[in-house]
Amino acid sequence: MFSNDQIQVIHALKSIARDQRIKRYIQQSEDLYPLLFRAAQRFVAGDTREHGISKGLELLNKGYAISLEYIGENTRTAEDCFQAKDEFLTLISEAGRHLISPTISFDLSHIGLSVDRELAFSNVNELAEAATKNGLSLMISMEESEKTEAIIEIYKRAAETYSNVGITIQAHLHRAMNDILELLDYPGKIRIVKGAYQESPEIMLPRSEELNERYLQLVDLLATKNHPVSIATHDEVIIEEVRRRGYLKQANTECEMLYGIRSDLMQRLKADGYQARVYLTYGTEWYLYLCHRLAEYPENIYAAIADIVEPNRTNKTSY
Ligand code: FDA
């Protein structure tokens, strides 16, 4: 799938993605932040909530459903977690007013998991209560494997009260099938992704035919039980196979892709009458997100360099 050189670049990008010193340095640099932000803007709606909502409206008007995230993860102090939670509460209230049934997506470590599990749980409950009042859904993202257990446990507790909370499962983890079998007992939507984090080979499959097979098995399990599922991939082979199996016609099944990636495929799915959801992010914490998008598809590095050197080029993504 990838050449050896590409694999080395992917590993390097995934490890600098986790380097908090580099992240802080870029965020505080008056020179580097605006330069790299030009590259991030291919994948990120902007650095403010207004940017997120206005891009969301533009996509809604074109017939897409929306997921919206205020980006961030691994928040280290309770005070910063409360600030992030408050931003999500404002987002829920504004998105509820301006956008039709968006899903609000977030990392649990953005709102408490890296400080204290109970803090994360109580913040999720507060967001879920607000989302219920505003007619919205929440989707919990999945993070590095050392957090998987805690994320699933918090999801289960929240899902006992709130049916509008969903969870993301990474097909690349060997535990994915068992996790989904347990999660079938809960009402929330399950978003299946391949997995963005670098993990050891003992616990995960790399990108491969075997991983695609496993991804499809997970979809089979959910779709045949008519459990709400988001097919969150840009892999056309998987999407075609899911379509061939007839699942995309089910009301509970949708395709979801990250903003800025395979918009051509999204356009086709929407034109064919399938549910197509675009995942939009905003905020200043785009560093890790940008590194992951470059690592997944190293050709994006060329586009990133061109975006930095020539920010006003016109051939950016259109929906
Ligand atoms: P894969 O990486 O095999 O790519 C298949 C094809 O898709 C490529 O050949 C290329 O054509 C295209 N493609 C993929 N990535 C691209 C890119 N960056 N730029 C251009 N083309 C690209 N991960 C995670 O660990 N936790 C999470 O919570 C989430 N949440 C999430 C939500 C949604 C809506 C999506 C779509 C994805 C995530 N992810 C995630 C990321 C996910 O785990 C995975 O890293 C990416 O989706 C890329 O994997 P693909 O499934 O696209 O397949």
pLDDT in tens, 195-236: 999 899 999 999 999 999 999 999 999 999 999 999 999 999
Longest CA span, the chain: 52
- Are 39 and 46 in contact by the 8 Å Cβ rule? The answer is no
Give the integer Cα–Cα distance in Å for 285 and 11.
21
pLDDT in tens, 25-34: 998 999 999 9
Q: Probe ligand 1: pick from 258, 264, 280, max atoms within 8 Å of CB? A: 258
| pLDDT range class, residue 99, cuts 50, 70, 90 | confident
Ligand 1 centre distance from Cα of residue 17 (Å): 16
Ligand 1 centre distance from Cα of residue 271 (Å): 22
Q: Probe ligand 1: pick from 175, 212, 297, 300, max atoms within 8 Å of CB? A: 297
pLDDT in tens, 137-158: 999 999 999 999 999 999 999 9
CA dihedral 149, 153, 158, 164 (to 10 degrees): 50
> The domain 44-285 is classified under which CATH number: 1.10.4080.10, 3.40.50.300, 3.40.50.40, 3.20.20.220?
3.20.20.220
Taking the CA of residue 172 as reference, the ligand 1 atom at the shortest distance is: 43
Pocket of ligand 1, beta carbon within 6 A: 141-142, 168, 170, 193-197, 207, 232-235, 256-258, 261-262, 279, 293, 296-297, 300
Domain residue extents for the chain: 44-285
